[in-house]
Structure 1
Amino acid sequence: MATSSDDLFEVASLEELEAEGRTLISRGGKALAVFAHEGEIRAVDNRCPHMGFPLAEGTVDDGILTCHWHHARFELSCGDTFDPWADDVQTYPVEVRDGTVYVDPTPEREKPPDEHWADRLEAGLAENLRLVLAKSTIGLLDAGVDYRSPVERTLEFGTQYREAGWSSGLTILGCMANVMDDVASEDRKRALYTGVRHVAIDCDGEPPTVSQPAFSTTDVSLERLKSWFRECIEVRDADGAERCLRTAVAAGYDEAAVAELVFAAATDHPYLSTGHVLDFANKAFETLEHVGWEHAPTTLASLVEPLATASRSDERSSWRQPVDLVALLEEVYGGDVTETSGLETLASAGGGTGSSWSPPEDFQPTLLGDDPEAIVDALADAVRAGATTEALAAEVVHAAATRVAQFGTANEFSDWNTVHHTFTYANAVHQSTRRTDAIELYRAVFDVAINVYLDRFLNTPPAPIPDPEENETGRDPDAILEDLLETFDAEGEVDRAGRLVAEFVACDGDADELKRTLGHGLLREDAGFHTLQNLEAAFEQFELARERGEDADRRWVPLIATARYLAAHFPTRREAEQTFTIAARLNRGETIHKSPSDSSTV
């Protein structure tokens, strides 16, 4: 039986170990593999750092220890891996005294856990290694690292290693940062893993960014920079636009001013790239709120390429025929779609304070109606009556959420994304109006309303929005949430998901518990870009409606809408959850691989 000597632990006689070539010992619940190779004694953690295979069952040759499960290779003397996806294996000091081999089972670690997992995050992002990313995100949060730190590093990576600029990966990262306070503790790890893995996927194989510098002078007015920036985007000059934008940041203009510059260009043409461009811009500003304005130069510069290359809806037939919707807007704007003089006149008449305006009773029915002229007139009247961009955006985003909540399941499945795009664009517009009061954002509000109009046939007939007041009360809210998760396990339970949310409301369920359940339902799935966006936008809109003190029948619409949307897209194969579960078990030290000689249950 092994015994201690000072701080060392007895392994075996040197003669026995050299004869056998290897042995396995256990101390304090940790198994160590000890090898005699080329006249040297080496000891390593028996668990392969990749997926936990017992390294004592591996092969040692020419100074290399090879794991038999996935063939990860390790330099035996120091434990460093040849394969970045595997991580380095921990080595342990050994001594030979009087023919007996001893090992120190508690060596000093080279790096504390937070530094180790930060390094692994870098490797996972650089090589798109999903298991490494899962282990590192779990490890960082378990080590007490604030989620903002890995979000910051992932943002830096995503803006540096994707020449095409901001896209779905960084948008997902921003969405997941936004829902961190809405999901359960364990799901915060899933959310972080979701964000970083999508950035890694987006950047995989892409050329790095080539940045343009700011101008050497910062003595340029915001109005001139704004004019230059818009003109560069208009003619699709990405390099010139980037220099203007970087100069605005370098000149010290505040967030609201820089946001005005960006959102002006993002609304010079309606509904750029089905709403993604303005949504990208809004998410970039929101992500900066998590990591700090010092990242603004590179973060905002990544928006330029999507802006310059965006498709423009005023060039699409659906905006021109059978009704020339662009012409309707141009009459209000005072010229072509890039103008704002007409909007300025309307806003000046109303004072733009919003204090004198509240939506008429027929405002929502008009927005959801089939008369585009009436919709445009209602919006213009609202601006003239003093409606601010924020107040008006709150109305159109509710109409967009209603389209999702009333989406008819007889439509083609792909049309879920049609109403989804309008809703997430509307959410981005609403959030943008809270960041800057730029007059150009009125154009974005009109764009949303026009798109709500274009989506009208997807509510024909409209799916009824369950009324919480018509549900029976008395059922345990927790049981309803369990039913909701079970609903996500079956295909096609769209309407039932909406009814369960309404029943939960009727039974006085806690909205925060509902959000945690919806978040868990989402994060256990292989959710795509749109599904992740949809939930985050619904959470944002619910909270804003709650802050405004909206009636229950209105403020719950976004959560009913997203429950239906999630149910339409679930279940999935849950491959990401499998990877996350393996990573969590490995980080806890659990056994993943079952040796043929091991009769215990894995």
Structure 2
Amino acid sequence: MTTDGLTYAGRLSDFAAGTCHRVRAGGRTLVLIRNGDGVYALDNRCPHMGFPLDRGSVDDGILTCHWHHARFDVTTGGTFDLWADDVPAFPTTVVDGDVWVDLRNGRDELAHHRRRLRAGLEQNLSLVIAKAAVSLVEGGADPREPFRIGLEFGTRYQSDGWGPGLTVLTCMMNLLPHLPPEQHARALFHGLSNVAGDSSGSPPKFEVGPLPDAPADPSTLKRWFRRFVDVRDATGAERCLLTAVQAGLDQAAIADMLFAAATDHRYLSNGHVLDFTNKALEALDIAGWDLAETVIGSLARGYADAGRMEESNAWRRPIDLVEILETTFEDLPDILAADIKPTQWDGRADLIDTVLGEDPQAIADALTDALRQGADPVELADAVTQAAITRVARFHVTNEFGDWDRALHTLSFANAVRGGLVRSGSRELVRGIYDAAMSVYLDRFLNVPPARLPSANGHTSGAELLALLPDLLDRQQQVDEAAGLVVDYRATTAPVEALLESIGGNLLREDRDFHTIQAVEASIHQANLSDDPADATLALVAGARYLAAHAPTVRSQGQTFQIAQRLQRGERLFEEAPA
């Protein structure tokens, strides 16, 4: 019975003081609690995992759920345990001994779940993050909104700056166009949880601030930034970056500053510095460049603290790759400044073969010759990336398992070089093409012997093939089988979009692995860029092989997400035992 917006809930005399009573009113199940002189109505579903709160107990105005012992203020529904959530509370009125409840909930649900997402990030609470991601995305929020919240949090509350968590978050956003809408919340959950894990226990990143009233001279700021990175001065480097942002330098000029310093030394931190930079810039493209100060500033420490491959034995002995590169780089400024008429460069296949070869001097010479012939640096970077794809696609499983990561580092770096050149046309970044090629050369032992590339075996149904992929990934080390499935699928007339969706969806089934996520995202990106169907297929073979090598995981994170999704949809996790 409803009158003037109030719903009848029972007689006051029916509710003993200090006890919990389940009541159905207006299509909702409530718990009514008589405490002191008042009677209070809360939703009967514990917001943590759905246990019925009428099975709980009340003491001193605090309701305790008996499943995980979450505690709530009976008057407001507010929780004392952030891993739970506030219980929706409804005003009550007593008229002539009758209890009436106002079920009109005025809470802004999207605003509430934004707050919960921030709490989950702050406390590193995976279930809270999952519930917020599901509620926001399925509640109609643009996925960029939770992404932006995670980006702001991760750049402010991680003293070491940009790291794997923010990279994973950006990779997941890049994968969203290749996933069905029902997978978007799950992808965001993976990225956001990774950000929370990276920041957990870390002190916040304190603001350094730009130089006061500094002139916006791009060449000076670029020169200073490179100087401070060279002497490993993170604070000086960060102030240069923040000054550039606040002074209004355009995006290309800021990217040019970063890419120059990222390639002043060889293959910084196994390629992570340039890869992180590329992902940070992609993140700003998605979330908005109004976050540039915190995002760009978060990169500085990684530059200053990075390992430099000129300090590495592998790059110095038995062949001094650094000497080859430094000698080659002496000619680059003149080559890049020369008025060379662009040509239809046709040396891609030969260059890939050379990069995959045994002679580092020949590799450097081939790249330089291509530039002199008028090849666009982006074309060269794309060819080197395809060579890096080949290393992963032909990685033999007799190698040490950890060597998958070595091949992946080269691929991620090469992919970042290509992306950076498209973004800024930085002349200094051209050096990154050579660094990537030398890393491909150093990885040559990973293809000794090279894994056999499968041939199509006549399958005609793409849908049937995709149905087999989850079963393959339920078994360990189905590397060649996964590659064969991709090749078979590509030989059908089925759309490539369905294959990308399947690979991405199966990635989300697994527990997060930084390198696996990088591998799948990079392979899908390279496949989308390729005009050559064979090259695109090889890229997808590489991604599928890497995923299969690292599956199955425990998949505990998938269970957490499924719990959140079921709760958001009103499903019951707790069931009474049959009488």
Assess same fold via TM > 0.5.
yes
The Cα offsets for residues 141-169 of structure 1, whole Å up to 9 and x where unpaired, read as: 11211111111111111111111100001
Q: Which amino acid aligns with 1:584?
A: Q
Secondary structure of 1:209's counterpart equals coil
Superposed displacement of residue 387, structure 1: 1.9
1:343 and 2:307 aligned: no
CA distance in 2, matches of 1:50, 1:295: 33
Superposed displacement of residue 100, structure 1: 2.6
Query: Which of 526, 546, 549 is residue 541 of structure 1 equivalent to?
Result: 526
1:399 and 2:387 aligned: yes
CA distance in 1, matches of 2:496, 2:29: 47
Asked whether the 8 Å contact 1:348–1:384 carries over to 2, the reply is no
CA distance in 2, matches of 1:29, 1:589: 13
CA distance in 2, matches of 1:266, 1:68: 55
Which residues in structure 2 correspond to 1:81-96 (within 5 Å)? 81-96=79-94
CA distance in 2, matches of 1:360, 1:175: 28
Asked whether the 8 Å contact 1:213–1:246 carries over to 2, the reply is yes
CA distance in 2, matches of 1:362, 1:243: 44
Query: Which of 108, 118, 134 is residue 105 of structure 2 equivalent to?
Result: 108
Superposed displacement of residue 98, structure 1: 2.2
1:507 and 2:495 aligned: no
Superposed displacement of residue 219, structure 1: 2.1
Secondary structure of 1:195's counterpart equals helix
Which residues in structure 2 correspond to 1:381-392 (within 5 Å)? 381-392=369-380
- The alpha-carbon distance between structure 1 residues 132 and 396, as it changes in their structure 2 partners (threshold 3 A), is same
Asked whether the 8 Å contact 1:11–1:25 carries over to 2, the reply is yes
- The alpha-carbon distance between structure 1 residues 5 and 219, as it changes in their structure 2 partners (threshold 3 A), is closer
The Cα offsets for residues 271-305 of structure 1, whole Å up to 9 and x where unpaired, read as: 11011010000000000000111111111010000
Query: Which of 4, 12, 23 is residue 14 of structure 1 equivalent to?
Result: 12
TM-score normalised by structure 1 residue count? 0.94
Partner of 2:442: 454
Partner of 2:160: 164
CA distance in 2, matches of 1:232, 1:13: 75
1:415 and 2:403 aligned: yes
CA distance in 1, matches of 2:565, 2:27: 18
Query: Which of 245, 251, 258 is residue 254 of structure 2 equivalent to?
Result: 258
Q: Which amino acid aligns with 1:495?
A: D
CA distance in 1, matches of 2:191, 2:495: 27
Asked whether the 8 Å contact 2:155–2:205 carries over to 1, the reply is yes
Superposed displacement of residue 473, structure 1: 4.3
Partner of 2:34: 36
Asked whether the 8 Å contact 1:356–1:385 carries over to 2, the reply is no
Query: Which of 43, 46, 53 is residue 45 of structure 1 equivalent to?
Result: 43
- Tell which deviates more after alignment, 20-29 or 154-163: 20-29
The Cα offsets for residues 30-61 of structure 1, whole Å up to 9 and x where unpaired, read as: 21111222232111100001110100000101
Asked whether the 8 Å contact 1:161–1:206 carries over to 2, the reply is yes
Superposed displacement of residue 349, structure 1: 4.4
Superposed displacement of residue 414, structure 1: 0.4
Q: Which amino acid aligns with 1:477?
A: G
CA distance in 2, matches of 1:226, 1:214: 14
- The alpha-carbon distance between structure 1 residues 28 and 565, as it changes in their structure 2 partners (threshold 3 A), is farther
Q: Which amino acid aligns with 1:406?
A: R
Partner of 1:338: none
The Cα offsets for residues 536-576 of structure 1, whole Å up to 9 and x where unpaired, read as: 1111111111xxx22x2112111110000000000111111
CA distance in 1, matches of 2:536, 2:488: 15
Superposed displacement of residue 29, structure 1: 4.2
- The alpha-carbon distance between structure 1 residues 480 and 393, as it changes in their structure 2 partners (threshold 3 A), is same
Superposed displacement of residue 212, structure 1: 1.6
Q: Which amino acid aligns with 1:577?
A: G
Partner of 2:96: 98
Secondary structure of 2:29's counterpart equals strand
Superposed displacement of residue 5, structure 1: 4.5
Which residues in structure 2 correspond to 1:464-543 (within 5 Å)? 464-467=452-455, 470-474=456-460, 476-543=461-528
CA distance in 1, matches of 2:57, 2:506: 43
CA distance in 2, matches of 1:13, 1:349: 91
Asked whether the 8 Å contact 1:350–1:386 carries over to 2, the reply is no
Superposed displacement of residue 583, structure 1: 0.3
Q: Which amino acid aligns with 1:536?
A: E
1:236 and 2:232 aligned: yes
- The alpha-carbon distance between structure 1 residues 20 and 429, as it changes in their structure 2 partners (threshold 3 A), is closer
CA distance in 2, matches of 1:22, 1:252: 60
Q: Give percent identity, aligned residues only.
A: 45
Secondary structure of 2:402's counterpart equals helix
Which residues in structure 2 correspond to 1:165-314 (within 5 Å)? 165-314=161-310
Asked whether the 8 Å contact 1:13–1:100 carries over to 2, the reply is yes
Asked whether the 8 Å contact 1:350–1:384 carries over to 2, the reply is no
Q: Which amino acid aligns with 2:473?
A: F
CA distance in 1, matches of 2:399, 2:87: 54
Secondary structure of 1:33's counterpart equals strand
1:559 and 2:540 aligned: yes
- The alpha-carbon distance between structure 1 residues 328 and 128, as it changes in their structure 2 partners (threshold 3 A), is same
Partner of 2:352: 364
Q: Which amino acid aligns with 1:169?
A: G
Partner of 1:337: none
Partner of 1:339: none
Asked whether the 8 Å contact 2:348–2:380 carries over to 1, the reply is no
Superposed displacement of residue 28, structure 1: 4.8
Partner of 1:581: 562
CA distance in 1, matches of 2:348, 2:522: 25
CA distance in 2, matches of 1:491, 1:400: 24
Superposed displacement of residue 4, structure 1: 4.1
Superposed displacement of residue 593, structure 1: 1.2
CA distance in 1, matches of 2:2, 2:362: 87
Secondary structure of 1:50's counterpart equals coil
- Tell which deviates more after alignment, 34-43 or 432-441: 34-43
- The alpha-carbon distance between structure 1 residues 97 and 259, as it changes in their structure 2 partners (threshold 3 A), is same
Asked whether the 8 Å contact 2:360–2:441 carries over to 1, the reply is yes
Q: Name stretches of at least 5 consecutive residues in structure 2 with no aligned partner.
A: none
Superposed displacement of residue 6, structure 1: 4.5
CA distance in 1, matches of 2:348, 2:526: 21
The Cα offsets for residues 61-82 of structure 1, whole Å up to 9 and x where unpaired, read as: 1000000111111010111111
Query: Which of 569, 575, 582 is residue 550 of structure 2 equivalent to?
Result: 569
- Superposed CA RMSD in Å reads 1.5
Asked whether the 8 Å contact 2:18–2:59 carries over to 1, the reply is no
CA distance in 2, matches of 1:591, 1:440: 58
Superposed displacement of residue 8, structure 1: 3.0
Q: Which amino acid aligns with 1:332?
A: T
Asked whether the 8 Å contact 1:354–1:391 carries over to 2, the reply is no
Secondary structure of 2:574's counterpart equals coil
How many matched pairs?
Answer: 579
Asked whether the 8 Å contact 1:389–1:441 carries over to 2, the reply is no
Asked whether the 8 Å contact 2:8–2:25 carries over to 1, the reply is no
- The alpha-carbon distance between structure 1 residues 321 and 539, as it changes in their structure 2 partners (threshold 3 A), is same
CA distance in 1, matches of 2:464, 2:80: 50
Secondary structure of 2:8's counterpart equals strand
The Cα offsets for residues 206-233 of structure 1, whole Å up to 9 and x where unpaired, read as: 0111222212234242111111100000
